[in-house]
Chain A
Amino acid sequence: MTFKPDFFLASLGDVLPAALINLQLALLAFLLAVAGGTALTLVRALKIRPVNWVIGVVISFIRGTPLMIQIFLFFYALPAAGIDLGPMTAGVLAIAFNSAVFITEIQRGSLAAIDPGQIEAAIALGLGSRPIWGRVVLPQLFRRILPMLVSEATVVIKGTALLSIITVVEMMRVAQRVGSANFSPFEPMVAAALGFLAINLVLSAAAQRLERRYASQRA
């Protein structure tokens, strides 16, 4: 197999524009995941036994099965239950659901590290549970988990490549098409890899800046 630079450059031109689709899908999925994961954390903090048991079962299912299967389930199983979603919607929801589970687990770990005395101080001053979560706990929680949240975001971005299997036309699927149309899968695949890498490098750089800004406050 030879690597043809001309074909590679041509593939870049075909593949990279589709990165916008991955970016949009990932952004939407990640925002839903953060909201959903945080909501799960809030619900779990109520410590209602049967509710937490159900959430625990769902968490172990999501953590213990491949994302690819979860995407298939959302795409094929939900329509069977009468919920017909397009491939994009089903795909975004599957990734968001998967990621929400990882985010709530990350949050649970860091929640334990927040000194309960701070919450007692808030209670003693008369803050209700809404401002305690909104103004005291969550802002600290998000600062603490920022590095883990960024690595979760890269997982989400890479996860959008899996949506090619349910016919979403994104970078990976474009690369596959270009590859089979030209009987040369290698160059377009490298082009797609570079596309994902570029997005994640930009993300990491931005995250590092943000972390440095908070570093002084955590000292």
Chain B
Amino acid sequence: MTHDPPPALRVQGLTLRYGSVRALDELYFDVAPGEVVALVGPSGCGKTSLLRCLTWLQQPTGGLIEIAGAPLGQERLPSGAIRRQSRRHIDRLRHRIGLVFQSLNLWPHLTARENVELPQRVVLGRSRTDARVRADAILDRLRVLELAEKVPGQLSGGQKQRVAIARALAMDPALMLFDEPTSSLDAELIQEVLSVLRGLAESGTTMLVVTHEIGFARHVAHRLLFMDQGRIVADGPPAQVIDHDPHPRVREFFDTVLAFRA
């Protein structure tokens, strides 16, 4: 008898309400290990809320999240009751999800290498040597090792982005989340960042990427989730959703975007 590995991410009934507004409305989806998922939708559709809930920066009002089989934030007891986990317990699971913020949020007083080393040492308890070896290996892989001694203020936007990715990757996450990784970059840097993401995808990194880059969604992602008003209204192969999904909001969105590009 064989056991399939658990999904990298399982979301069941995830809901976030602000008063009567449902920012997230009972979302259900899995992300398989190695899968690259593009999350697309108009602004205000709940994409960022979803990422914040998945990292428990924002506490959802309902639903369950599992990272590689381990419940995050709340868990269902054998009795069926839902129990909230302690902050400490949640902190121990958080490194399993690597979030790359839109604003990157590197620590400006530390060098690139120290940014990557610090969470490994503090959260995973790795030794100074182990953390450094791991940091340098990842910085090298992302081709920013020669900048290891620089502080973020001395790095370009694209370089900072690689360091932020390295910081999350060094924690060996089961899943990487990207919040609009290209939104604040100029055209040249967008290509640079997309090629980094493509490289990660090809090496089997599981990723959920909030993006407006239709080209990335079409050519790199295995799957596209389209969100509107807190719901997933389309879920399928990117080309299929982009070109043929019949949902009116999906059509409106992609027809507009594609018309602009044509």
**A126 to B118 CA separation, bound complex (whole angstroms):** 11
Pick the contact of B108: A127, A128, A135, A140 (CB < 8 A): A140
Write out the residue numbers on chain B whose beta carbons fall within 8 Å of the beta carbon of A136: 107
Do A124 and B55 contact each other (CB < 8 Å), given the known contacts A117-B103, A117-B105, A217-B109? yes
B33: CB under 8 A from chain A? no
Whether B108 pairs with A218 at a CB distance below 8 angstroms is yes
**A205 to B252 CA separation, bound complex (whole angstroms):** 65
Do A120 and B108 contact each other (CB < 8 Å), given the known contacts A127-B119, A217-B151? no
8 Å CB contacts to A: which residues of B122-156?
122-123, 151, 153-154
Whether A118 pairs with B105 at a CB distance below 8 angstroms is yes
A57: CB under 8 A from chain B? no
Write out the residue numbers on chain A whose beta carbons fall within 8 Å of the beta carbon of B171: 125-126
Whether A127 pairs with B105 at a CB distance below 8 angstroms is no
Seed contacts A124-B94, A125-B167, A217-B151; 20 additional CB < 8 Å A-B pairs: A118-B106, A121-B99, A121-B106, A122-B107, A122-B119, A124-B55, A124-B57, A125-B94, A125-B119, A126-B123, A126-B171, A127-B123, A131-B122, A135-B122, A143-B109, A216-B154, A217-B109, A217-B153, A219-B153, A219-B154
B88-103 interface mask toward A, CB cutoff 8 Å, 1 = contact, 0 = none? Answer: 1001111101010101
**A121 to B115 CA separation, bound complex (whole angstroms):** 11
With both beta carbons as reference points, the residue of chain B lying nearest to A114 in the complex is identified as: B108
What is the size, in residues, of chain A's interface with B at 8 Å between Cβ atoms? 22
Write out the residue numbers on chain A whose beta carbons fall within 8 Å of the beta carbon of B122: 127, 131, 135
| Smallest CB-CB A-B distances: 5 pairs | A121-B105, A126-B94, A117-B105, A125-B119, A126-B123
Write out the residue numbers on chain B whose beta carbons fall within 8 Å of the beta carbon of A135: 118, 122
Do A128 and B151 contact each other (CB < 8 Å), given the known contacts A123-B57, A135-B118, A140-B109? no
Question: Could you list 11 A-B pairs, sorted by A, with CB under 8 Å?
Answer: A120-B101, A123-B94, A124-B55, A124-B99, A126-B91, A126-B93, A127-B122, A128-B87, A128-B88, A131-B118, A217-B151
**A35 to B254 CA separation, bound complex (whole angstroms):** 58
| B104 CB → nearest A CB, Å | 8
B167-188 interface mask toward A, CB cutoff 8 Å, 1 = contact, 0 = none? Answer: 1100100000000000000000
| A46 CB → nearest B CB, Å | 14
With both beta carbons as reference points, the residue of chain A lying nearest to B109 in the complex is identified as: A140
Whether B153 pairs with A218 at a CB distance below 8 angstroms is yes
Identify whether the interface residues of A are mostly helix, strand, loop, or mixed: helix
| B187 CB → nearest A CB, Å | 25
With both beta carbons as reference points, the residue of chain A lying nearest to B153 in the complex is identified as: A219
Write out the residue numbers on chain A whose beta carbons fall within 8 Å of the beta carbon of B119: 122, 125-127
**A124 to B90 CA separation, bound complex (whole angstroms):** 10
A64: CB under 8 A from chain B? no
- Give A residues with C-beta under 8 Å from B: 115, 117-118, 120-128, 131, 135-136, 139-140, 143, 216-219
8 Å CB contacts to A: which residues of B154-172?
154, 167-168, 171
With both beta carbons as reference points, the residue of chain B lying nearest to A115 in the complex is identified as: B105
Q: Which of B87, B93, B108, B167 has the most CB of A within 10 A?
A: B108
**A122 to B123 CA separation, bound complex (whole angstroms):** 10
Write out the residue numbers on chain B whose beta carbons fall within 8 Å of the beta carbon of A139: 109
**A127 to B118 CA separation, bound complex (whole angstroms):** 9
Write out the residue numbers on chain A whose beta carbons fall within 8 Å of the beta carbon of B97: 124
**A200 to B105 CA separation, bound complex (whole angstroms):** 38
| B72 CB → nearest A CB, Å | 11
**A131 to B124 CA separation, bound complex (whole angstroms):** 13
**A102 to B19 CA separation, bound complex (whole angstroms):** 41
With both beta carbons as reference points, the residue of chain A lying nearest to B124 in the complex is identified as: A126
**A121 to B87 CA separation, bound complex (whole angstroms):** 16
Whether B123 pairs with A125 at a CB distance below 8 angstroms is yes
Write out the residue numbers on chain B whose beta carbons fall within 8 Å of the beta carbon of A115: 103, 105
